[in-house]
């Protein structure tokens, strides 16, 4: 009487250490989903290459780092499949086949494309075929595993819409094969950076999941709080304070009520409030750090995890590709396959 487990696919680009913004924005959902769904999570190294093609060495270095961040954050290889995109060559074949019938207009109109290209223009030349085709590769990543749901941030919604359009077009041109995967948006848990802007590596306002309390402490202690509150005897307003969102996500509700009343009634000073936050952060980061250190001392385990994940993903990918090749008349039963 069991309904089959629904499948989930998502990926992240290996372009740097993960920070609290990534954790509360996406990763916390990934961790929860592995309990209930058949989850495939992959390191999107080909995607990283679409914009970082001139520095491929950096990407490789971040591949094991990303997996360590995932495991530190709570992904477990027994509960989900973690794999490395570039090792599953079927993604490239599927992208190629999708590219045959994806109208250029769909790609050129893509708001993420226009936005990111504009942002990075000057720094990098992104007038490339690969960068324009990024959403087609993403559609291949997703549809390969014929998932029900894709947990992504708001910024990825246009890409997911394109994925559905590509699925529909394939199903219309050939025989129906692909489901139309839906976005799994969980209520966005916003965590601004240390300076109140969006948390981002490039702003230098982030706390990384791999940081020690020695590294975190000075960052928290120097944060700007409610700027209208010059002295402890001035009442403060948590809603005007960069620090308070951190308490919202990391400090338990009881203590948080104390903080709000202490702040608004001018009985709690910002320094003490920061110390309370450091306690919460410690309780949050230390277990992550312990899991990470274990892997750092045993790097082979990271690669073994990926290898096991690659094997599982590859099996699924081959199954899909076999069906796709049949539909596009590229199944040559007359020829024996080359080994690859």
Site for ligand TRP, rule CB under 6 A: 9-13, 44, 47, 138, 141-142, 150, 152, 156, 159
For the CB of residue 11, give the shortest distance to ligand TRP in the complex, in Å.
4
Per-residue x/- mask for ligand SF4, residues 39 to 78, rule CB under 6 A? Answer: ----------------------------------------
Please identify, among the stretches 57-65, 173-181, 237-245, 314-322, the one whose residues bind ligand SF4 according to the rule CB under 6 A. Answer: 237-245
Judged by CB under 6 A, does residue 84 bind ligand SF4?
A: no
| Residue from 73, 142, 270, 306 binding ligand SF4 (CB under 6 A) | 270
Q: Looking at beta carbons only, is 146 or 232 nearer to ligand SF4?
A: 232
Q: Looking at beta carbons only, is 65 or 226 nearer to ligand SF4?
A: 226
The residue at minimum Cβ distance from ligand TRP is 11
Please identify, among the stretches 33-41, 54-62, 197-205, 223-231, the one whose residues bind ligand SF4 according to the rule CB under 6 A. Answer: 223-231
For the CB of residue 150, give the shortest distance to ligand TRP in the complex, in Å.
5
Judged by CB under 6 A, does residue 194 bind ligand SF4?
A: no
For the CB of residue 247, give the shortest distance to ligand SF4 in the complex, in Å.
7
CA 206 to chain centre: 16
Partner touching 136 among ligand SF4, ligand TRP, none, CB below 5 to 8 Å by kind: none
Cα dihedral 143/145/146/149 (nearest 10): -90
Partner touching 273 among ligand TRP, ligand SF4, none, CB below 5 to 8 Å by kind: ligand SF4
Using alpha carbons, select from 271, 281, 293 the residue that is nearest to residue 216. 281
Q: Looking at beta carbons only, is 85 or 242 nearer to ligand TRP?
A: 85
Q: Looking at beta carbons only, is 186 or 267 nearer to ligand SF4?
A: 267
For the CB of residue 243, give the shortest distance to ligand SF4 in the complex, in Å.
4
**306 in Cβ contact with 67 (< 8 Å):** yes
| Residue from 75, 145, 226, 309 binding ligand SF4 (CB under 6 A) | 226
Residue with tokens 């390969």: 144
Judged by CB under 6 A, does residue 241 bind ligand SF4?
A: yes
The residues binding ligand SF4 (CB under 6 A) are: 225-226, 229, 236, 238, 241, 243-244, 259, 263, 268, 270, 273
């Amino acid at each position: 009487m069991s309904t089959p487990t629904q499948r989930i696919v998502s990926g992240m680009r290996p372009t740097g250490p993960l920070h609290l913004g990534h954790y509360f924005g996406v990763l916390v959902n990934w961790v929860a989903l592995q309990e209930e769904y058949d989850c495939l999570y992959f390191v999107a190294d080909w995607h990283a290459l679409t914009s970082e093609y001139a520095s491929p060495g950096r990407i490789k270095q971040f591949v094991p780092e990303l997996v360590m961040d995932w495991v530190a954050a709570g992904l477990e290889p027994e509960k989900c499949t973690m794999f490395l995109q570039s090792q599953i060559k079927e993604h490239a074949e599927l992208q190629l086949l999708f590219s045959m019938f994806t109208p250029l207009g769909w790609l050129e109109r893509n708001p993420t494309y226009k936005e990111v290209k504009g942002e990075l223009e000057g720094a990098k030349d992104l007038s490339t075929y690969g960068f324009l085709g990024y959403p087609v590769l993403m559609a291949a990543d997703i549809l390969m595993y014929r998932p029900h749901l894709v947990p992504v941030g708001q910024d990825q919604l246009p890409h997911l819409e394109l994925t559905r359009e590509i699925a529909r077009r394939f199903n219309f041109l050939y025989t129906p094969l692909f489901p139309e995967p839906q976005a799994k948006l969980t209520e966005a848990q916003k965590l601004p950076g240390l300076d109140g802007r969006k948390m981002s590596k490039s702003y230098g306002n982030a706390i990384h999941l791999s940081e020690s309390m020695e590294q975190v402490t000075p960052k928290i202690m120097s944060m700007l709080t409610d700027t209208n509150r010059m002295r402890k005897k001035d009442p403060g307003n948590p809603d005007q304070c960069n620090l308070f969102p951190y308490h919202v996500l990391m400090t338990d509700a009881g203590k948080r009520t104390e903080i709000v009343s202490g702040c608004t009634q001018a009985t709690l000073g910002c320094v003490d409030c920061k110390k309370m936050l450091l306690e919460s952060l410690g309780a949050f980061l230390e277990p992550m750090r312990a899991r990470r250190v274990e892997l750092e001392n045993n790097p082979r385990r990271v690669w073994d995890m990926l290898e096991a994940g690659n094997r599982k993903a590859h099996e699924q990918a081959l199954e899909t590709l076999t069906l796709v090749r049949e539909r596009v008349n590229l199944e040559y039963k007359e020829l024996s396959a080359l080994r690859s």
